[in-house]
Amino acid sequence: MATTIRDVAEKAGVSPMAVSKVLHGKGDTVRVSKEKALLILRVAKELNYQPNYLARSLRSRKTRTIALVFDHFQRIGDQTGYFNQLFNGAMGAAFEGEYSLTICPRLNSLDGRRLFDGRFDGLVWGKPDVSDDTREAIESATIPVVCLHLPAEVSPPVPVFCCDNRQGLRMGVEHLAKLGHERIAFVIDDVNQNLIEASARWQAFRQALQESGLEACPDAPLIWRHQDGQLARLMSSARRPTALICFSEYLAVSIVRQAEKTGVQIPNDLSIVGYDSTVFCDTSTPRLTAISQPVEQMAHDATQHLISIIEGTKMAPQHFVYPCGLDIRESTARPAHLTVEVIS
Amino acid sequence: MATTIRDVAEKAGVSPMAVSKVLHGKGDTVRVSKEKALLILRVAKELNYQPNYLARSLRSRKTRTIALVFDHFQRIGDQTGYFNQLFNGAMGAAFEGEYSLTICPRLNSLDGRRLFDGRFDGLVWGKPDVSDDTREAIESATIPVVCLHLPAEVSPPVPVFCCDNRQGLRMGVEHLAKLGHERIAFVIDDVNQNLIEASARWQAFRQALQESGLEACPDAPLIWRHQDGQLARLMSSARRPTALICFSEYLAVSIVRQAEKTGVQIPNDLSIVGYDSTVFCDTSTPRLTAISQPVEQMAHDATQHLISIIEGTKMAPQHFVYPCGLDIRESTARPAHLTVEVIS
DNA sequence: CTGTTAGCGCCTTCAT
DNA sequence: ATGAAGGCGCTAACAG
């Protein structure tokens, strides 16, 4: 059994409060004489006293710990730099503020318990989806919550940190339109299709097409199931798209891989644009054209803002929208039929 | 203020114990009638009752949370895949065991407190150094601890998970020796020079040289300070090494970068071997020859073993040693003087 | 200046 | 089958 504050107090012949005051500076009304303080410090060291964090937190209602939450989150860094940036941003801000960061794979535990249970001072939510659970969870939160990738349009009651999807997709679509593409599809993996940001990007995509005088092709997001024959089927369909804009870098890279296996030439047969533009866009062959968002900055700001709320220095729910960029690499080009026309 | 077990009890007209029993199944001697149980469940739902995790943990002395600790740990995934693997391994094992994982930047907080303070059921220590603090911390641990990268030779009182440095460095040295290198240096960055594994690899390096009939050059690890002129100075020294074995992939990549700037030809002027062999070894130019260790597996095993100890199914301190591999890529070749001799 | 009291929310133990 | 008492370790609030 670990030594408690009472053990120290007893051995030093003082009250527990005196010990608390000397060792943790708590108890404003308590004043301790210098010699008594020294005695307490000595005894505490002798007994190798370590204050129990749980007890302190229970009493003070502060844990100095932040939760970083995903739903169904699995691995980092495999084929995307996204999580690296996310972790670096969140860890950076948390550690600067002297908070610990706990990684939680999901918001609702198996037994229905939630994370608003005293363990955390606040919560950074990385992957909100459109389910009722999500809405209800946000509404029933008893600690400060901030959300990443929750479009400002949904006006949630918590601060959100999101990129400017309209602008990002406008850049992507314009780039493809200028190259001569007329049939552009928006692709998303099945696991992500219920994310709020998925529908936001789809809407932004449609609007961008409209502004470029184009129509969506097909008129719904292409759901990608990571099955082997899917690309071949797509390429052999009648009005097949000549370009894809993908929900993520990871998805774009896996389509590029499948293209390589299937014999589909990127970018000649098909142009591909990813979302998020990290080092992995440079390691694929061909290198991947991608819309970029400042993920690390967003995660850092979100976490820092959360800490401000926790510590009472900021209150009003605000929305933070970050500009996107477009990094043009090798996976986009003029569509083949145009090239052919030129030659003939 | 969140609703407590007492609020529920009061509203349902029962004792707190009945509520505890029904909602958490704790309290073996308590039996509750079915209708009372249903009432309690209904009231709990009505009041949106969430049990306080801190209070439960304080009482039960279980937090189902594991700490992943580094000293002076900063960013992940920037120029090394090491942390990705580490995180994936540790998170995988923790989540499988229904534990949360808290990332802690250092073992001793600023105010001298340690992490053995009730917050964690156990601790995975990722970067033990040779300081007295470290030794003392291990010895004073009041919760189970496992260490990564702590060579079995130091026989610590806790389980360690380490790669076979002797074998790894033997492979690296033999590879270079076969190419004709006679002056091989071992390089380590200043920030890592105090790690226990640093001295272990240095010793393993010397032994490997001996077995190949070579001598260390120079007879001490080269400390790399990431300053601009360092490579130029090294290359202009009289008995300069023709090959470097680096403590890490990260270090190797930064030396390759500096070489590019300085005009040093890799591998013609200088061969370079890294430690850890991840995707980043393929993205450098030239691609990096590297000794590999199964970091993700090690982290997974370490965390899983820690959980076993926590849950009382394994006890004896054991050491786990993992085999290394050697991935030969483009950053190693015959030394220039041999090539010249052949031509002349 | 110092000490006592009374919980934070939960659960083990013992009594009914 | 149920409830009361007490305490995990700490500290805010209130005496002395």
For residue B16, what are the CA distances in angstroms to A54, B21, B35, B52, B132? 22, 9, 16, 14, 49
Widest CA span in chain B? 100
CA distance A312 to A277: 35
β B243-246/B271-275 pair status: parallel
> What's the pTM value of the predicted model, to 2 decimals?
0.87
CA distance B247 to B112: 30
Which DSSP symbol is given to B256? H
Burial of A212 from C-beta contacts in 10 A (0-12 / 13-18 / 19+): middle
pLDDT-based confidence at B338, cuts 50/70/90? low
**B115: helix, strand or coil:** coil
Q: Tokens 């959980």 — which residue? A: B307
Contact: A100, B101; criterion CB under 8 Å: no
pLDDT digits (tens, 9 = 90+) for B172-198: 999 999 999 999 999 999 988 988 899
For residue B85, what are the CA distances in angstroms to A2, B50, B114, B189, B194? 35, 35, 26, 21, 23
Q: Nucleic chain C: which protein residues 47-76 of A have CB below 7 A from it?
A: 55, 58-59
CA distance A92 to B36: 49
**A323: helix, strand or coil:** coil
In B106-247, DSSP assigns E strands to: 122-125, 145-148, 160-163, 184-189, 222-224, 243-246
CA distance B86 to A70: 19
Structure tokens at B187: 């390089």
- Note the helical H segments in chain A: 5-12, 16-24, 34-46, 53-60, 82-96, 132-139, 165-179, 196-211, 230-236, 249-262, 280-283, 295-310, 336-343
What would the 3-class secondary structure string for A108-168 be? CCCCCCCCCCCCCCEEEECCCECCHHHHHHHHCCCCCEEEECCCHHHCCCCCEEEECHHHH
CA of B12 and C1' of C4: distance in angstroms?
A: 35
pLDDT attached to residue B344: 46
* φ, ψ (nearest 5 deg) of residue B294: -80, 75
Which DSSP symbol is given to A220? S
Q: Which residues contact B231 (CB under 8 A, 6 or more apart)?
A: B255, B258, B259, B262, B264
Structure tokens at B105: 């930047």
Q: Do residues A280 and A254 make contact, with C-beta atoms less than 8 angstroms apart?
A: no
**B17: helix, strand or coil:** helix
Burial of B37 from C-beta contacts in 10 A (0-12 / 13-18 / 19+): middle
Amino acid letter, B259: A
Cβ-Cβ contacts under 8 Å, B114 against chain A? 50
pLDDT digits (tens, 9 = 90+) for B200-244: 999 999 999 999 999 888 889 999 998 888 999 999 988 899 999
Asked if A262 reaches chain B (Cβ–Cβ under 8 Å), the answer is no
In chain B, DSSP assigns E strands to: 65-69, 100-104, 122-125, 145-148, 160-163, 184-189, 222-224, 243-246, 271-275, 289-292, 319-322, 325-327
CA distance A119 to A62: 9
Any atom of strand D under 7 A from CB of A16? yes
CA distance A213 to A249: 26
Any atom of strand D under 7 A from CB of A109? no
pLDDT, one tens digit for every residue, chain A (344 residues)? 578 888 888 888 888 888 888 887 766 666 777 788 888 888 888 888 888 889 988 888 889 999 998 766 667 766 778 888 999 999 999 989 989 899 887 665 544 556 788 889 999 998 777 777 777 778 778 889 999 998 877 767 889 999 999 999 999 999 999 999 999 999 999 988 988 899 999 999 999 999 999 988 888 999 999 888 899 999 998 889 999 999 999 899 989 989 999 999 999 999 999 999 988 888 788 999 999 999 999 999 999 999 999 988 766 668 899 999 999 999 999 998 765 554 44
Nearest CB neighbour to B50, from listed A103, A117, A282? A117
Protein CB footprint (7 Å) on chain D nucleotides:
1-5, 7-15
